[in-house]
A and B are shown apart, each in its own frame.
Chain A
């Protein structure tokens, strides 16, 4: 049942007000004002979102709250009405965005306490929240795309926040441009969908209406649209081939990495596919592509993470890897599993980034783990919360990550993708390894901290540690909404989402317990190896790196994919732009024509002016020619 709920618009209004306040009044009213308004509007939005979500829970299954806004586009029969919609799926998403987002805003108050540009930071952060909420609450594909673009813009603004550093500015541009490539695919996908529907007389891109007319899609159209939309998702959610911007995005402030590049923006791709599930179930080939790319990306990114020395880079590649899991989940047809992992990942990855930020903050800006060690005594809260998050991401049984990752692997296996399941299980081991490598290198062992940073070392202030604690609690218990079937209230999450995303139909029979056992034991093996490598025998990693030098360097250089792209795409593009388009066409042709026209007039003028030499007799001769012509004309008339 659908109920109109006008207060939904408040979820968007408050962050928008935050933007305006921080932009215009922020610098004038000072840091305290901005520190209240920035996170404050997010908490208000969270409150409204909670109210909406609880209302949904109270209503029968499959209910939704809606709030129509206004008619935006109109072109012939095509029209776009803007409106907000909270059903089970967007309800979960809006809770994540506002909840985790609000706490990260609060954390930023502490993290950016020494930065002079606080007003601009919160302006951008609120703007991001606004755009992300548009994306999540949109009731039609076009409005979702507006939010999609908006978060891309804010990502750029925030990555390049300290824009005076050319490298940071470059990375911001890189993120935006790579995203744009994906967005082109997204747009083409929208066009394909509209073309198919319009062919049958339906001109709406509203989700509910599209789902009602899903039978108008034949397999080809559905596959094409699905793949094109997925291209957009690979850009936004950092999958192969468009993931290259995410590791470089780590130059932005750490709260940005937590909010945008872990908890919310990067999950937009997964959300989009879950939203369009009715389209994807019609295109099994597209789903297979999604699942394969997800699985491959998960493994690929994990292998890079195991050798990275920078704490944020490890987390960045870890994010790419976990996103791969999410796509594996939705690609297998288990949309609820993917969304479940979105939620748990928001908790533990957001927490991991915030903890990393806390470490960096305490270390006075140091991000190289080789220069850390034995920090757990100096920063206890950070240590314990980060440990909880690591246990969650390593899918240690009982923590949230365990349930969501297990559900995904179960979906992968039972939909028939055996090799992808195996890849995912191995990646689980890799994940355990590199995450505990991070914990051991940072918090345990001998202190390798540089002396000048030693006395600066301190735990973060409460405004930063409270969000850590909140997220740690959620990382620990957040998974219990999705227990395996049979246990207690079992599978409540999937059941809650099923009216929107459908039920998962296994193709292959399997015992969930067996699958879980395999994956978990691989994870434990990874943790054990990390323990051996980094605590028991600290010299071992170096020996191994030296022995397998080629492989080590390949991984350290992230398979040199950036260099490959540069060679294959960027440099040819620059070459074409410079030599062909700039010099060839623009300068030679266009400027040549414009200047040439002027030059032609000038030179013909030079030639023509010689006829006027001042000699009256010459003038008279021309005059005579004219007279002859006129007389000739009259002659002609007479003779006729």
Chain B
């Protein structure tokens, strides 16, 4: 992957990541996030991970972000004026983040990481290679993940469905009790 492409994509992803964090309107944040995801997807493909890159674009940017968008529209939030967060929290967060960044930088400075790339095998990043590894070494993880998805589906449906009046009553009773205890 030519360096110039990398720098372009890197700048794009950083700028849009900042956009996610700094924009006021949640929808704008979402759009910036989609842009970041797409930039990263291209970076994946540039590294030779073609399948994963496409999956990133299709599944992540395509499905998950759309889901986010649906929820934002569903909630129909009024646009909030004023600051997006407390200044003290932002400063403190900035300091912490800077510290983390500095540490991580130190890791990558040493020269032993400037090694030559290993030669990619033929068909590296193709669906064959992916499924070979996936279904042999990571089979159990694969099966468990499928159960996880099932659980997630059930949980999401259970949490988000409209509750009946009786359930609202008992919920109200529970939450008021917990509030009293707190």
B8 at the interface (CB under 8 A from A): no
B106: chain A residues within 8 A (beta carbon)? 635, 639
B103: chain A residues within 8 A (beta carbon)? 628, 631-632, 635
Given contacts A635-B107, A638-B107, contact A627 B100 (CB under 8 A): yes
B149 at the interface (CB under 8 A from A): no
- Residue among A624, A625, A631 making CB contact with B104, cutoff 8 Å: A631
- Establish whether residues B100 and A631, one from each chain, have CB atoms under 8 Å apart when the complex forms: yes
- Establish whether residues A628 and B96, one from each chain, have CB atoms under 8 Å apart when the complex forms: yes
B93: chain A residues within 8 A (beta carbon)? 621
- Establish whether residues B107 and A628, one from each chain, have CB atoms under 8 Å apart when the complex forms: no
Residue on B with the closest CB to A623? B96
In the complex, what's the smallest C-beta–C-beta distance from B67 to chain A, in angstroms? 21
A165: chain B residues within 8 A (beta carbon)? none
A511 at the interface (CB under 8 A from B): no
Among A597-640, those with CB < 8 Å from B are 617, 621, 624-625, 627-628, 631-632, 634-635, 638-639
Chain A binding site: helix, strand, loop or mixed by DSSP? helix
Provide the bound-state CA to CA distance between A216 and B99, in Å: 85
In the complex, what's the smallest C-beta–C-beta distance from A615 to chain B, in angstroms? 9
- Establish whether residues A625 and B89, one from each chain, have CB atoms under 8 Å apart when the complex forms: no
In the complex, what's the smallest C-beta–C-beta distance from A572 to chain B, in angstroms? 56
Encoded as 1 (CB less than 8 Å from any A CB) or 0, chain B from 120 to 143 comes to 000000000000000000000000
B92 at the interface (CB under 8 A from A): yes
A635: chain B residues within 8 A (beta carbon)? 103, 106-107
In the complex, what's the smallest C-beta–C-beta distance from B83 to chain A, in angstroms? 14
B107: chain A residues within 8 A (beta carbon)? 634-635, 638
Given contacts A635-B106, A635-B107, A638-B107, contact A628 B92 (CB under 8 A): no
- Establish whether residues B92 and A621, one from each chain, have CB atoms under 8 Å apart when the complex forms: yes
Provide the bound-state CA to CA distance between A632 and B97, in Å: 13
- Establish whether residues A617 and B89, one from each chain, have CB atoms under 8 Å apart when the complex forms: yes
Provide the bound-state CA to CA distance between A639 and B100, in Å: 17
Provide the bound-state CA to CA distance between A635 and B99, in Å: 13
A627: chain B residues within 8 A (beta carbon)? 100
Most buried by A among B92, B103, B106, B110: B103
A621: chain B residues within 8 A (beta carbon)? 89, 92-93, 96
Provide the bound-state CA to CA distance between A635 and B108, in Å: 11
In the complex, what's the smallest C-beta–C-beta distance from B110 to chain A, in angstroms? 8
Given contacts A635-B106, A635-B107, contact A628 B99 (CB under 8 A): yes
Given contacts A635-B106, A638-B107, contact A628 B100 (CB under 8 A): yes
Most buried by B among A625, A628, A638, A639: A628
Provide the bound-state CA to CA distance between A82 and B53, in Å: 101
In the complex, what's the smallest C-beta–C-beta distance from B130 to chain A, in angstroms? 30
In the complex, what's the smallest C-beta–C-beta distance from B90 to chain A, in angstroms? 11
In the complex, what's the smallest C-beta–C-beta distance from A449 to chain B, in angstroms? 82
Residue on A with the closest CB to B106? A635
B110: chain A residues within 8 A (beta carbon)? 638
B104: chain A residues within 8 A (beta carbon)? 631
Residue on A with the closest CB to B102? A628
In the complex, what's the smallest C-beta–C-beta distance from A400 to chain B, in angstroms? 90
Given contacts A635-B103, A635-B106, contact A624 B96 (CB under 8 A): yes
A617: chain B residues within 8 A (beta carbon)? 89
A624: chain B residues within 8 A (beta carbon)? 96-97, 100
In the complex, what's the smallest C-beta–C-beta distance from A73 to chain B, in angstroms? 63
In the complex, what's the smallest C-beta–C-beta distance from B24 to chain A, in angstroms? 18
Residue on B with the closest CB to A630? B103
6 new A-B contacts at CB < 8 Å, known A621-B96, A628-B96: A621-B89, A621-B93, A628-B99, A628-B103, A632-B103, A635-B107
Interface CB pairs A-B, < 8 A, 25: A617-B89, A621-B89, A621-B92, A621-B93, A621-B96, A624-B96, A624-B97, A624-B100, A625-B96, A627-B100, A628-B96, A628-B99, A628-B100, A628-B103, A631-B100, A631-B103, A631-B104, A632-B103, A634-B107, A635-B103, A635-B106, A635-B107, A638-B107, A638-B110, A639-B106
Q: Which 10 A-B pairs have the closest CB atoms?
A: A631-B103, A624-B96, A628-B99, A628-B100, A635-B103, A635-B106, A632-B103, A617-B89, A628-B103, A621-B96
